[in-house]
Every structure is written in C-alpha cells, then in structure tokens.
Amino acid sequence: MLAMVSRAPKASDLIKPVIRIAGWAALFLTLTLSGWLYRRLPLPAVQRSQAAPLSKTNHPTPKAKRPAAGETAAAYWSDNDSDGIPDGGELRSFQDRESFRRWFTAIAEMQFYRFSESWNPQQRDCAGLVRFAWREALRQHNAMWFRKMGPEYETVASDVSDLQLDQNPLGEKLFRTDFGSFQRVDLAEGKFAEFADARSLKTFNATFISRDRRQAQSGDLIFFYQPQARKLPYHVMLFLGQARTAPNGADDWVVYHTGGSPDENGTVKKVELSVLDGHPDPRWRPIASNRNFLGFYRLKILD
C-alpha cells in the first residue's frame, strides 16, 4: 500500500485569498466614501429645487382647495399683503370678486323680505346677517341649494370658482379673530372661527376705505360705534348700492339687522343712505359730522 504523503502549502497559496478579500474590502470602502462625498457636495440650483422635499407646512389641509396651476403651495399659504388672511383664501380674480359681491348682497337683501330657514335663529343679529350672506355666497348654488333657501331665490351670477366653502384654506372658519399676519399655526391656535361679532368683522376681516359714500362699492360694510351700548357697541350694515328690488332706481341702498344680539329680537331693514341721513337719532346718521359713524370698510377677501 502506498503511503499518503501530505504536501506542505506554499506561501503563495496562503496569500492569494488574503489579496482577494483585501480587494473586495477596498472596493466597498471606495463606493461608500464616494456616496458619502456625493451627498455632501452642493447640487446645481435646478437639482436643489427638485431634490429638496416640501415641508409639511407647505401642504394644504385635506379639505383645502389645491393650489391653482402654476401656483406653489408656499404661495398659496403666504400672506403677501400682511392682512392676516392667507393669499389662497382671497378672491384674486375680477370675475370671482364680482360673483361674490352679487351673491353676497342678493342673499342679504332677501332676508329683508323673508328670513331663510337656513339662517340659524341664534345667529340673527347685525353681524350674523353678514356672516350668513358671506357663507352662503361661497357655496355651490345648485338645485339642492335653491331648494334649501326657498323659491324666491334665483341665479344672480356664476359661482365663485377659486374659493368655495367646501374647498378653501379655512373651511367653515372664515373669520379672523386676532391681530397679525397669517401663519399656518393660526389655524391650530384658534385665530379663525365660524363666528365673528361686528367688532371682529371690522378689526380683522375688513379694511377701512372712506367715510365718503362715493368711494363705496357694492358689498362694502358700514360700521357705527355707540359707546353707550357697553356690551355690544359696534353695529354693522351692508351696502347694496343698486338693490335688486328698487322701485325708485336709487343706488345707495343698505340692508341691516337692527339687533345687536339675537336676544333683542330685531328685524332686517332695507333703506337708502339718503334716508338714514335724516335719522331721528343723529348718532345713526352716516355723515362725516357724526363721530359715531366709522365709515365704509371692504372685506379683505375682496381687497
């Protein structure tokens, strides 16, 4: 029987595996280092804009209308005029502003003839008339809406296309209630609400135009301040201009609710400014010499 003789391994046989392992390790380190350096090198401007992720604060809430074509989410939520209302919550086209004015004034005027059942009795006061007409003006005026409002209503304009009640940055909380430019955190901090009294409408949601009625436009608000009414000293009226129903052809009509609160059981009145000029109580005359008359204000969503 032949004896099995084992051959001692050569040095070269031991070195080759080590070399292969070292080579793979070097390749792995090279690739890792290259990726690390690539992530830290500055990208060209175009690549940076494409690669940078949008922050969470740039996304509208699920109920919000999406930004218009060509509009960035940041611009949609910005407040370029620092009026406290997000740019995406304002009416930015002439057609939308005109449509809103027509619906806003027509709905308010209709309350003079018959209260809509959709107007909550607990919201029926001077500011409540403005809130109700404002909110209904932003709805879709379809067959369901007309059935809800009543047979007296008719189409007065096309619907507002860029800011509808169910698709807007603020949802049902249309009214600002605090000072400051708009920040996304305002929504979480309660600086917008479904309710606003006459003072809040004036201070946070409208801009002073003039005490001269010749500067007023349809849909502007008129404010009075009566300090003797300590609880609710502010009162608001809505300027119609040319009313839908005006037998004498006058163009200075206003509509307003006489109650400072729903508890006062007030009613809606429709009258010409020229008639109010001779009001028995001088404090309610919309003339420059009356210190209680604050002037005409335009809604910020229209300004």
Beta strands 268-272 and 253-257, pairing class:
antiparallel
Integer Cα distance of 193 and 210 in angstroms: 27
Integer Cα distance of 235 and 198 in angstroms: 6
pLDDT of residue 27: 55
Task: Give residue 103's pLDDT band: very low, low, confident or very high (50, 70, 90).
Answer: very high
**CB neighbour class for 94 (10 Å; exposed up to 12, middle 13-18, buried from 19):** exposed
Integer Cα distance of 39 and 109 in angstroms: 63
pLDDT of residue 166: 78
Report the chain's C-alpha Rg in angstroms. 33
For residues 8-22, give the mean pLDDT.
53
pLDDT at position 25 over 70? no
For residues 190-207, give the mean pLDDT.
96
Task: Give residue 154's pLDDT band: very low, low, confident or very high (50, 70, 90).
Answer: very high
pLDDT of residue 23: 60
